[in-house]
Amino acid sequence: MANGLKEIADELNLSISTVSRALNNTGRVSAETRRLVMDTAKKYNYSPNRIAQSLRQKKTNIVGLIVPDIGDYFSEVIKGTESELSAHNYSMILADSHEDPLKEANYIKLMYQSQVDGLMLATVSDTFAWTDVYESSDIPVIFFDNEPADLVCSKVVLNNIKATEIAVDHLVKLGHKKIALICGNTKESTAKYRRDGFMEAMKKHNLEVDQNLIKEGLYYLDAGYSSMEELILSREDHPFTAVIVSTYRMSCSAIHAIKDYGLSYPEDFSFIGFDMEDRDRLFSPSITSVLQPGKLIGKLMVHKLLQSIDNVELSPEEEDSVSFVNPVIKLGQSTAAIKK
């Protein structure tokens, strides 16, 4: 199957260049010739070799996407990314770093070698030591989820401050005053901002913040569980009527703790989780949760990326800009108005 331009050219006694121009509708070609070429192309089931095109044009129409884990919220991002890319005639190479900075580094290298036109990256490297590669190359990179410390770059991130703020707002509207927070390690930007958002919202509503009701889970694995446990065990001294958890994993394990202690929401206290989308509505009671619009994040990234790719030169303020995405709150049965 030597299915190339040459075959068509030979058949019609034309040159390869003419055939190319006819097919791509570029340059001047007589209508007659064009038709002929199109017809034989169809006849031979011609299919352009994108690799050859890419090499010649120095453009692959492929972008890379590296996530720490395929599943949950990232599935949504992947989905949004994929459909938006495909609408613009791009394809996507997907890689899963499995939360491993070393793998991530290798994937980045691979992406560059593959000559992707752009890269979307949810980095898991605290230091993002690949700055050299990143900066020495001119292919645009968009970060999302984690923000690499000390690096000026393009990113699309959740408005994390608002994320906890809308949770507090909702609870306050229900009459809650003593609100607890379980958040991640505030050395990570997301956790920090989410805690800040909580603080600001409490202040906005003139509510006192009991430091004992703020649990910062330092360890990844079961921080949600132990934090919830601490809150439950000390609730005589430090009473609360509602809890907000600020990551998905912690929400899950906090729920396990609540069940293990024989408590339930909203009876014992109201509960607001994070990223508990439950699209198939299988939880009972359903859970009020702050949600990141994953698909939208994907779409936005693609937009920014394609803009960078198309306009070779962007103004600096556009080049390394941050796009914020608004969280939404999904109301469920796990939150209820407080009894006066």
Partner DNA sequence: TTGAAAGCGCTACCAT
Partner DNA sequence: ATGGTAGCGCTTTCAA
Specify the DSSP class assigned to residue 199. Answer: H
* Segment contacting DNA by CB under 7 A, of 28-36, 245-253, 264-272, 287-295: 28-36
243 binds, among its own copies, DNA, none (CB under 5 to 8 A by kind): none
145 binds, among DNA, its own copies, none (CB under 5 to 8 A by kind): none
Q: Using CB under 8 A, pick the residue from 20, 91, 159, 186 that binds its own copies.
A: 91
* Segment contacting its own copies by CB under 8 A, of 11-19, 84-92, 313-321, 328-336: 84-92
Do residues 44 and 3 make contact, with C-beta atoms less than 8 angstroms apart? yes
Tell whether residue 42 is a contact of DNA (CB under 7 A).
Answer: no
Q: Nearest approach, Cβ of 37 to DNA (angstroms)?
A: 9
Contacts of 139 (CB under 8 A, 6+ apart): 112, 116, 117, 118, 119
Cα-Cα-Cα-Cα torsion 90, 134, 191, 267, nearest 10 degrees, comes to: 20
Tell whether residue 48 is a contact of DNA (CB under 7 A).
Answer: yes
Q: How many alpha carbons fall within 13 Å on the CB side of residue 79?
A: 10
Q: Using CB under 8 A, pick the residue from 55, 218, 233, 337 that binds its own copies.
A: 55
* Segment contacting its own copies by CB under 8 A, of 20-28, 82-90, 140-148, 169-177: 82-90
Do residues 255 and 274 make contact, with C-beta atoms less than 8 angstroms apart? no
294-310 helix and 72-87 helix, angle to the nearest 10 degrees: 40
Tally helices (H) and strands (E) across the chain: 13, 12
- Is the bond preceding residue 285 a cis peptide, omega within 30 degrees? yes
Which C-beta is closer to DNA: that of 3 or that of 333? 3
Element containing residue 119 per DSSP (H, E): strand 118-121
Q: Using CB under 8 A, pick the residue from 267, 280, 313, 317 that binds its own copies.
A: 280
Specify the DSSP class assigned to residue 340. Answer: -
Applying CB under 8 A, the residues found at the interface with its own copies are 1, 45, 47-52, 54-55, 60, 62, 70-71, 75-76, 78-79, 82-83, 86, 91-96, 98, 107, 109-110, 112-115, 132-133, 136-138, 252, 255-256, 259, 276, 280-284
Query: Contact positions toward DNA, by CB under 7 A?
Result: 2, 4-6, 13-18, 20-21, 23-24, 26-30, 32-33, 48-49, 52-53, 55-58
